[in-house]
Amino acid sequence: MRKIAVVLISVLLGITTGCTSKNAVNSPAPAPAATTKSDIPYTMETIAEGLNVPWEMDIAKDGRIFFTERPGHLRVIEKGRLNPEPLITFEAPFISTGEGGLLGLALDPSFMDNHYIYVYHTYRDKDQIKNRVLRLIESNNKARLDKVLIAGLPGAENHNGGRIKIGPDMLLYITSGDRYDPPLAQDLNSTGGKILRIGLDGSIPASNPFKNSPVYSLGHRNPQGLAWHPETGQLYSSEHGQTAHDEINLIEPGGNYGWPLIEGEESSSPEKANLKTPLLHSGKETWAPSGAAFVRIGPWKGSLLVAGLRGERLIKLNLKGPKYDSVASVEHLFQGIFGRLRNVYEGPDGSLYIMTNNRDGRGKPKQGDDKIIRLKPNF
């Protein structure tokens, strides 16, 4: 597919940086506005356009880019060209309604040998909306169902979570939302409002913090981003707050992140003393943070990037301390330039990929939307 440059120098001059709301935890000092091309040390190009709400992507060792579209298509970009035919199109009981549909995606670490692809999708079970994680097998850019790994995750029109990632421990991490039923997030008998961890075969790891349970952490409202620090291996998550108070959390096994008991800020009451508070929250501002990624190589090495939907920005965090458990600085990039951003992903060569979601029912589609945009490092 023809690659199209999407940002001219004049647009680059309009990219701004900044800090979080004054109400945010660990609020850093304001950063200066970007005024030169060198402030964005990447060359930008569109690698796919005219997409229908792309949600997640992963890159195989043979260079193919696999990605999901929320209405139910698993697609591939091969040798720079978007294949017009999906690998698979999901049908009933699959549904795409509200924020639900075909969401998370991860390729198996041994994909080149076993061709396993993991996906998260919404489905209807009688009169209820639920979510599940499937394992697919790919062959010649076609995919078929191999196994249901976990099913019955609470679902609704909104708050479906949906991110899946394979961690450094080779286990599958899954984010689930509270389906607009906040008490589920505190109920250990429910998989709603949690970060879950299972084996790549669907088994429950013996090392999970709660015996015979897939629950890894609880007290989440609608977490949509997962990323591991490249040095410490610590897990971080992004989470949608209620109207505002969006959060970036450092996740501990068995940790309770407070929803709906607390949100965004600390509480001094004794009964809430063991609840985890975020590294950073948006205060009265709304970011609607979704996909997240640590930059391992390239100009922004070490930064945590988080895509913002309603905030229409890429949030760039620099962490500090021996455990990287506090925020040194925050920059808000591309504000309003690309519209709603669903995901950010780092490729093996240090290229960054961002996905727009202007056709998700809440955005204002621009020419060519939705897009996958590549930021290639200027080494």
Q: What is the mean pLDDT of residues 148-155?
A: 98
Pick from 102, 238, 108, 220: which is nearest to 166 by CA? 108
Percent of the chain's residues with pLDDT above 90: 86
Residue 379's pLDDT is: 82
Question: Residue 113: in which H helix or E strand, if any?
Answer: helix 111-114
Contact between 137 and 146 under an 8 Å Cβ cutoff? The reply is yes
Per-residue pLDDT tens over the stretch 277-296: 999 999 999 999 999 999 99
Per-residue pLDDT tens over the stretch 102-142: 999 999 999 999 999 999 999 999 999 999 999 999 999 99
Q: What is the mean pLDDT of residues 57-79?
A: 98
Catalytic positions are: 159
Task: Indicate if the pLDDT at residue 12 is higher than 70.
Answer: no
In this prediction, residue 177 has a pLDDT band, given cuts at 50, 70 and 90, of: very high
Number of domains in the chain: 1
Q: Per residue in 198-232, is it b (16+ CB within 10 Å) or e — as a string?
A: bebebebeeebeeeeebbbbbbbbbbbbbbbbeee
Domain CATH number, residue 158 = 2.120.10.30
How much is the mean pLDDT over the chain?
90
Task: Indicate if the pLDDT at residue 19 is higher than 80.
Answer: no
Pick from 258, 296, 194: which is nearest to 25 by CA? 258
In this prediction, residue 266 has a pLDDT band, given cuts at 50, 70 and 90, of: low
* Domain that residue 9 falls in: 4-377
Residue 269's pLDDT is: 66
Residue 1's pLDDT is: 45
Please report the DSSP string for 41-106 in residue order: -EEEEEEE-S-S-EEEEEE-TTS-EEEEETTTEEEEEETTEE-SS-SEE--TTB---TT-SEEEEE
Q: How far apart are CA 144 and CA 29, in angstroms?
A: 50
Contact between 314 and 299 under an 8 Å Cβ cutoff? The reply is no
Contact between 121 and 74 under an 8 Å Cβ cutoff? The reply is no
Q: What is the mean pLDDT of residues 175-190?
A: 98
Pick from 196, 166, 173: which is nearest to 184 by CA? 196
Task: Indicate if the pLDDT at residue 162 is higher than 70.
Answer: yes
